[in-house]
Structure 1
């Protein structure tokens, strides 16, 4: 009887060791697979995602070099650009629309002809985008002029409201096309009402 119980004890010990080894191997496999999944998902290990860089046009301080400044094709044109020490902290760049805007006014026989310039304190990308999307901007501005009452074009407050509406429209077009506006103001070079 003692031989029989000794054999049973040995087989139970062997089965226990085998079960322990298989259990440990199973836990290692599950743990390793879980770890691999967490690393791939970026939960642990820092992930491999780069932070999204803010790539919007930056404000340019006076005296700073604009990395996106449009190239002046005629080198002999004008003088060197020199900023004053007072006033605004940031430099202002201007974009002149190539052609005048001519339109009727809302519910009126009156006709306006407007020459426009807009300004930005941002880097040269805004100027590049203005040139690139000038047709879409022109279309939007003509719609705004046509929706302006005749009384508004004869008063300073009316013209100021028109300038604000135009600035908002330009920024809206640029935001839809490029993801960022950047125009600070619209100015009238000529403003004729007939």
Structure 2
């Protein structure tokens, strides 16, 4: 510690230095606040950009009382206007599972009977099984159109699966229910592979014979 008295000039210099230091700290704080605000703004903008977007090439749910074909045509027109008609609903090699509505009673179910029955030998006997099936969807007519367009691929996949079934299993209600679940899975898998979306809600047996 110095015993020399502090002069007036020295005191002024120290005071000025403190003011400069305070101003410098304040400026840094302002810059930091501005940077944080800019960061929040950028994050908000990115979040909006990543939000879900309606895809006119994806089948839409049909409300009760609406017409599935009209809804499909409306969205096809939107795709044409946007210049995206025919574009896949998802990226190549992927498929979109269209979810079942939380309240099915609020939506219109559309049914389609696949014209010809499916006949196949069974793996554990000389018996064969013949089934006729129909499908249903809560989505617009593009799902049924896809089933019709790709019926050959669907039929091939179903017949290959049925050839692995056993007569004992199919003779029981549980076996029929298991087959029904497999059929639903196959139909949607083929549609996702061929069109980019599924959308079939259920498969129904309209005829079931084992001989």
1:24 matched to which residue of 2? 26
Residue 164 of structure 1: CA displacement?
4.4
1:37 matched to which residue of 2? 39
1:184 corresponds to which of 202, 205, 208: 202
Name structure 1 gaps, 5 residues minimum: 70-87
Determine which structure has greater relative contact order: mean sequence separation of CA pairs < 8 Å that are 6+ residues apart, divided by chain length: 2
Q: Distance in 1 between matches of 2:27 and 2:33?
A: 10
Secondary structure (helix, strand or coil) at the match of 2:135 reads strand
**What TM-score do you get using the length of structure 2 for normalisation?**
0.58
Q: Does 1:117 align with 2:168?
A: no
Residue 14 of structure 1: CA displacement?
1.8
**What TM-score do you get using the length of structure 1 for normalisation?**
0.62
1:64 corresponds to which of 52, 62, 66: 66
Please list the CA deviations of residues 129-159 of structure 1 after superposition, one character each: whole Å capped at 9, or x if unmatched: 3235434432331133212223566677765
Structure 1 stretch displaced more, 143-152 or 52-61: 52-61
Name structure 2 gaps, 5 residues minimum: 1-5, 74-104
Secondary structure (helix, strand or coil) at the match of 2:156 reads helix
Equivalences for residues 98-177 of structure 1 within 5 A: 99-151=116-168, 159=176, 162-174=179-191
Q: Distance in 1 between matches of 2:14 and 2:168?
A: 103
Structure with greater proportional helix content: 2
Question: Over aligned residues, Cα RMSD in angstroms?
Answer: 3.8
Secondary structure (helix, strand or coil) at the match of 2:204 reads strand
In structure 2, the CA distance between the partners of 1:164 and 1:47, relative to structure 1 (3 Å rule), is: closer
In structure 2, the CA distance between the partners of 1:11 and 1:161, relative to structure 1 (3 Å rule), is: closer
